[in-house]
Chains A and B, each alone.
Chain A
Amino acid sequence: MVNKDLELFDCGHRACGGCGAALAARLVLKGAGTNTIVVSATGCMEVFSTPYPETAWKVPWIHSLFENASAVASGVVASLQKQGRTEKVIVMGGDGATFDIGMLCISGAFERGHDLTYICYDNEAYMNTGIQRSGATPYDASTTTSPAGSCSFGNKRPKKDMPQILAAHGAPYVATASIAYPMDLMQKVEKAINTPGPCYVQLHAPCCTGWGFEGEQTVAIAKLAIETGLWVNYEMIDGKVTKVKKVVRKPVEEYLKTQKRFRHLFKPKRQDAEIAAIQAIADKNAEKYGIDIKLKKE
């Protein structure tokens, strides 16, 4: 059972106020418990949590490189099994480490069926190096390498569907979650680590610095992502979607307007066609996962 009061990610780390990733780390460890070993990829979370000689991690923790966390974790799992030890192994990687540079190692670890849980804290760009686009950056988001300009609306491609890719590897448990729904997040982590084999959990973790909003808005914005259908919380068991968070959907505009990375869609003039294209992405999500709650007509 998840112990909400367990604190295994210590305060005093160097994350920005309102950091979604720091909240994600704290919630993940509440869900995972003390008998856990964490393998971190290089990234914001690794840097803000472990400036030598200080560490925020109250569980055993290892960081090697940006792209090899799942391979390192494979070795940890093999070693533990050989020693007859029972610790659960969790990988923590940002979206750059997961969607882009670390994908080969993730694919290898999942194909080999290593008993680990890969958690991607998805803040939708390379935040540690100063907000560059990744394969997880949403359509039209302005980043420092996909800037909006006089002949660009920002990032040209929608997010890569990592959960589907890992489900296609035969992962027994794949889930998405959001820091806005902490109980759901913790339960999914708990379920993942207790499912034998390679499991994947992708967490929506807004970044106030990278997305351009005030730190106290992090949870509200994560919630809006769900409520607009731009992020869907679901569970897949053996490749089949078994549970979806349903919502009474709001227009995507309500989410987009809260963040500077989308402000070029509204100023200096409103870009109706682009907003409609993003609305179409949400509509497609809603249809694919059946998230819409139909209100009864009075």
Chain B
Amino acid sequence: MLEITEGSLAVAEAVRLCRPQVIAAYPITPQTHIVEALADMVANCKLDADYITVESEFSALSACLGASAAGSRTYSATTSQGLALMFEVCFNVAGMRLPIIMTIANRALGAPLSIWNDQQDSISLRDSGWLQFYAEDNQEATDLHYIAYRVCEDPAVALPAFVCFDGFILSHTYEPVEQLNQADVDKYLPKFAPKERLDAADPISFGMYATPEYYHEFRYAHDKALKDSAAVIKKAGEEFKKLFGRDYGAMVEGYLLDDAETVIVAMGSICGTTKDAIDEMRATGKKVGLLKVRVFRPFPSEELSKALAGAKRIAVLDKNISLGSKGALALEIRDALYGSRVSVFGYIIGLGGRDVRKKDIKEIVALAEKGQGDIFYGLRKEVL
């Protein structure tokens, strides 16, 4: 049933339907509406979960770690500084191969303090070994939670995931979202039954230390599982389409790509604005298309290079920057296209909530056509 609802509330409802048994969370803007909604569900017996009101985000993820190791499906949500505070636990959770799902309402990182949107927070944890999904709209943000649990709890994957959606732009925006019902979700998402858990009847040790004789292989196995999860994502996405009609089988998604000379590559809510800008540019005869990256980890190099093979030039939009270098997505796309003759131009856009409009997308396409890239787009020179 289609319902007009706030992004955070739509996500909270999807999380409820996934039946997490332990939730641990800490308030932080713009994520808080999700965990408030979940607390309300628990208080009104609409969700049978233990809700741990921790004293920090660091403890939120640590509590999820313990609960997951003890055999419960767990959930948390955070953003920005909260995610930064979880940094150490993030690497730990992934290394211990625990399938915790965490929603990230993407927000900039201080200093200077900013509560507004960009994707620096989750991108800064790209090396932590979690899967990373990015949603274009609230329907996708909602659905990706089912996909994430399904993929991550697959014994072949056994890894955690961020489901990222842009703070405020999506989290606080009302959009029509179609929610699944409990019976359908139960069909799609089986009960969490990990092969190993903390259990007095069968004692095992979790989180031992590894000497140089073993550590290297642990990391290899982790990396392999993350890369191999691509096939599991594809399968989970296809099955979701079969049951519910919406297709998440591919890790990247093209819009008017076939004859496109200039292809914009982007992640998150900016894809919606970009599609509108493309429609207007197409009306004036410009052959422009979009490649949306839905899954950033594992990075879909193969799908991406296939989809971009016909393009003359690529304009990559990054709502993040690896300071001293370039935007994370542009760097990875250059790597994926290495050896091809396609020109890749990177644009740092929309940091700390700077609005990016259709006219900006058009201007970026014009810059790419002139061969001008690797720039901070839209600088206000008067305040520099």
Contact = CB atoms under 8 A, between A and B. Distances in A.
- The answer on A and B forming one complex is yes
Nearest to B56: A104
A61 B58 CA distance: 21
A46 interface: yes
A143 interface: no
B53 interface: yes
Contacts of A50: 205, 207-209
Nearest to B210: A52
B89 A68 contact: yes
Nearest to B206: A62
B203 A62 contact: no
A74 B59 contact: yes
A198 B22 CA distance: 19
A164 interface: no
Nearest to B55: A108
Contact of A59 (B50, B67, B88, B200): B200
Interface stretch (B70-78, B120-128, B142-150, B350-358): B70-78
B67 A76 contact: yes
Nearest to B51: A78
A60 B199 contact: yes
Interface in B178-229: 198-200, 202-211, 214
B31 interface: no
Nearest to B218: A52
Nearest to A87: B200
B272 interface: no
A57, A61, A64, A65, most chain B CB atoms within 10 A? A64
Contacts of B49: 82
A79 B66 contact: yes
A35 interface: yes
A37 B24 CA distance: 20
Nearest to B203: A60
Contacts, number: 158
Nearest to B205: A55
Contact of A81 (B50, B62, B66): B50
B81 to A, nearest CB: 16
- Measured as residues with beta carbon below 8 angstroms from the partner, the interface class of chain B is 35 or more
Nearest to B60: A71
Nearest to A76: B66
A57 B21 contact: no
A62 B74 CA distance: 17
A75 B208 contact: no
B203 A71 contact: no
A74 B24 CA distance: 10
Contacts of B72: 78-79, 82-83
B171 interface: no
A61 to B, nearest CB: 5
Contacts of A55: 205, 208
B208 A74 contact: no
A78 B63 contact: yes
A243 interface: no
Interface in B87-120: 88-89, 92, 96
A75 B22 contact: yes
A232 interface: no
B65 A64 contact: yes
A144 B64 CA distance: 36
Interface string A101-131: 0001101100110000000000000000000
Contact of B206 (A63, A79, A111): A63
A64 B63 CA distance: 11
Interface string A30-69: 0000111101000000110011110101111111110110
B64 A51 contact: no
A108 B208 contact: no
Chain B CB within 10 Å, residue with most, of A55, A82, A112: A82
B52 A78 contact: yes
Contacts of B53: 112
Given A57-B205, A78-B50, A112-B53, A68 B69 contact: no
Contacts of B88: 65
A79 B89 contact: no
A72 interface: yes
A74 B89 contact: no
Contact of A58 (B55, B64, B203, B211): B203
A75 B68 contact: yes
A147 B96 CA distance: 38
Nearest to B59: A71
B77 to A, nearest CB: 16
A78 B209 contact: no
A82 B207 contact: no
A60 B204 CA distance: 5
B92 A74 contact: no
B367 interface: no
B103 to A, nearest CB: 18
Given A78-B72, A79-B67, A35 B54 contact: no
B208 A104 contact: no
A79 B211 contact: no
Contacts of A112: 52-54
Contacts of A51: 208-209, 211
Contact of A75 (B58, B70, B207): B70
A36 B200 contact: yes
Contacts of B74: 75, 79
Nearest to A80: B70
Most chain A beta-carbon contacts within 10 A, residue among B60, B69, B208: B208
The 7 closest A-B pairs by CB, nearest first: A75-B66, A108-B55, A71-B62, A75-B63, A75-B67, A79-B70, A71-B59
27 contacts: A52-B211, A55-B205, A60-B202, A63-B207, A64-B62, A64-B96, A65-B62, A71-B59, A72-B62, A74-B52, A75-B64, A75-B67, A76-B66, A78-B50, A78-B52, A79-B50, A79-B67, A79-B68, A80-B70, A83-B21, A83-B72, A87-B198, A87-B200, A108-B54, A111-B55, A112-B52, A112-B54
Given A59-B203, A78-B24, 8 more contacts: A51-B208, A53-B214, A62-B205, A65-B89, A74-B24, A78-B52, A83-B71, A108-B55
Interface of A: 34-37, 39, 46-47, 50-53, 55, 57-65, 67-68, 71-83, 87, 104-105, 107-108, 111-112
